[in-house]
Amino acid sequence: MTWTLGIDTSHAVAVGLARDGRPVARVVVDDTRAHAEELMPSILRACADAGIALTDIDEFAVGMGPGPFTGLRVGVATAWTLAHTAGRPVHGVCSLDVVARQWADLGAPDDFLVAADARRKELYWARYSADGVRVDGPRVTAPDELPALPVAGAVPEAYRAGLDVQGPDALDPAVLAARWADLAPAGDEPFYLRPADATVPGRPKSALPRLRVRR
């Protein structure tokens, strides 16, 4: 018996459990700014719902984004830390690929997009074939730059009128836990796609008036 814990913080706080490749439990906290506070309680809640302890987890699957830097980093760092502490493997996948897999299992169109809120009036997105395989992206652009194709994913309400939104509107973390092996490996580097908002400040400027040197 293999227990897999799935973690994704590319958007909301999403935790799922699968046993032998079958979804068992999921906990989703629909708050895009509470990742640090809600992630570990959500992990423990999912384990309790499944009737297991955190020490029973055999492997970890984590969404590597794309997503805003701070929230995404919380999920990736937590997955790596838990896996390293327990001596278990961790598998990174593109978060958009999980939603694409969900739609492909339901019967997706021949050509479609998965998109998510990137803030700053932009969307993260990638393009997929009917079997859920990514053929382009991930990218980050303005909503009006997306190809004219059916769209799934966590698309903000403000952009939905201009897009053909049809598919699943949220990542299912239990599917992440159950189907990670069917998705392309994402490697060790998260898909930030943009620099972090917080940067190292330059040399501070003096507030003192500059003295003129008389010759």
Do the domain assignments include residue 123? Answer: yes
Q: Considering the entire predicted model, what is its pTM? A: 0.89
Task: For residues 145 and 57, state if they share a domain.
Answer: no
Task: For residues 149 and 48, state if they share a domain.
Answer: no
Do the domain assignments include residue 195? Answer: no
Task: For residues 53 and 126, state if they share a domain.
Answer: no
The parent domain of residue 45 ranges over 3-95+172-182
| Mean pLDDT taken over the chain | 92
Residue 18 vs residues 33, 109, 128, 169, 210: alpha-carbon distances, Å:
26, 27, 25, 21, 66
Question: How many domains, in total, are found in the chain?
Answer: 2
Sign of CA dihedral 104, 108, 110, 112: negative
Lowest pLDDT segment from 110-119, 139-148, 190-199: 190-199
pLDDT digits (tens, 9 = 90+) for 45-73: 999 999 999 999 999 999 999 999 999 99
Task: For residues 66 and 137, state if they share a domain.
Answer: no
Task: For residues 91 and 133, state if they share a domain.
Answer: no
Do the domain assignments include residue 66? Answer: yes
Q: What is the mean pLDDT of residues 85-99?
A: 98
Question: Does 208 score more than 90 pLDDT?
Answer: no
Q: How large a percentage of the chain has pLDDT more than 90?
A: 87
Task: For residues 129 and 82, state if they share a domain.
Answer: no
pLDDT digits (tens, 9 = 90+) for 20-38: 999 999 999 998 889 999 9
Q: Residue 77, Cβ neighbours under 10 Å: how many?
A: 15
Which CATH number characterizes residue 122's domain?
3.30.420
Do the domain assignments include residue 28? Answer: yes
Q: What is the pLDDT of residue 46?
A: 98
Which CATH number characterizes residue 18's domain?
3.30.420.40
- Using CB atoms within 10 Å of the CB of residue 190, give its burial: 0 to 12 exposed, 13 to 18 middle, 19+ buried: buried
Q: How large a percentage of the chain has pLDDT more than 70?
A: 90
The first and second tokens of residue 98, run together, are 């999980």
Task: For residues 48 and 116, state if they share a domain.
Answer: no
Task: For residues 89 and 177, state if they share a domain.
Answer: yes
CA separation for the pair 68, 190 (Å, rounded): 10
Task: For residues 76 and 177, state if they share a domain.
Answer: yes
Task: For residues 51 and 142, state if they share a domain.
Answer: no
Q: What is the mean pLDDT of residues 129-140?
A: 97
Task: For residues 90 and 150, state if they share a domain.
Answer: no
Containing 160, the helix (H) or strand (E) segment is helix 157-160
Lowest pLDDT segment from 106-115, 174-183, 186-195: 186-195
Band of pLDDT at residue 203, cut at 50, 70 and 90: low
**Contact (Cβ atoms closer than 8 angstroms) between residue 128 and residue 135:** yes
Task: For residues 78 and 100, state if they share a domain.
Answer: no
